[in-house]
Amino acid sequence: MPDYRAIEHQILEMLGSVRRPVAVAFLDAPPAGVPKFSGSEPSSCSFWRLAAGGRVFYTVPADHFNCPVGGYTHNTLTPERMPELNDVLKLMTDIGYVRMEEIPGVFQLPVTPNVVVYAPLGEAPVAPSAVLASGKPGRVMMLAEAANRAGALSQLPLLGRPTCMALPAALAQGAVTSSGCIGNRVYTDIGEDELYVVLRGTDLERIAAEIPTIRSANQTLTGYHQQRRQDLSHL
């Protein structure tokens, strides 16, 4: 298994963040030794907050039922729960937050996972399907550049609401960035000055290998552009 602790350290250094990157694994069965989540959370992305805080656990589809939107993106909604999604979408359309024609463009997992494992990346008990992290835009930019250098950056634009669709989007197309959504910011405590980046688990080692090159290149280019600004700016 890769050294996820070392990769976590690299990502945190690049992002300049204290919020630990979260490993998310979509599995058919619970891994040995990983406890099942006990309790209730209002959203699927609430589990990101718990994992970033150091917890390692797995959920089952019913644990995601409190959030119809997260249930949709994770493909865990049952027919009995669909009216709840419709109610939420009606609220969002009534207040002008979303248009119904946007819904088909929301990414969704193609298959319902039996369990979802959440952990800080450095303590991942199994290979992650995706890794999500957050940081200030200038730092997220560099991690996206490392993904691009590794040939693992999707061609998708900056994603928006709902934040949780960034997981299936990254699985389908490679690393994505997301501006998040208001629900996610409430449930996860992510700052208004932060963005998300989500990496596909199978690309993680290749992306991590490019981080030193991108960090060095940005340091060099910072000096280069500062000097050009000084030399070429005249009033």
Per-residue pLDDT at 192: 94
Q: Is residue 209 scored above 90 in pLDDT?
A: yes
Tell me what the mean pLDDT of segment 167-178 comes to: 97
Tell me what the mean pLDDT of segment 84-113 comes to: 87
- Residue 207 DSSP one-character state: H
Q: Alpha-carbon distance 2 to 206, whole Å?
A: 11
Q: Alpha-carbon distance 86 to 105, whole Å?
A: 16
Can you tell me whether residue 187 is helix, strand or coil? Answer: helix
Per-residue pLDDT at 185: 96
Per-residue confidence band for 154, with pLDDT thresholds at 50, 70 and 90 = very high
> Which among 233, 234, 20 has a CA at the least distance from the CA of 124?
20
Per-residue confidence band for 83, with pLDDT thresholds at 50, 70 and 90 = confident
Least trusted range by pLDDT, from 62-76, 77-91, 141-155: 77-91
Main-chain dihedrals φ then ψ at residue 38, nearest 5 degrees:
-125, 125
Per-residue pLDDT at 81: 82
Percent above pLDDT 90 for the chain: 82
Least trusted range by pLDDT, from 85-94, 104-113, 119-128, 185-194: 85-94
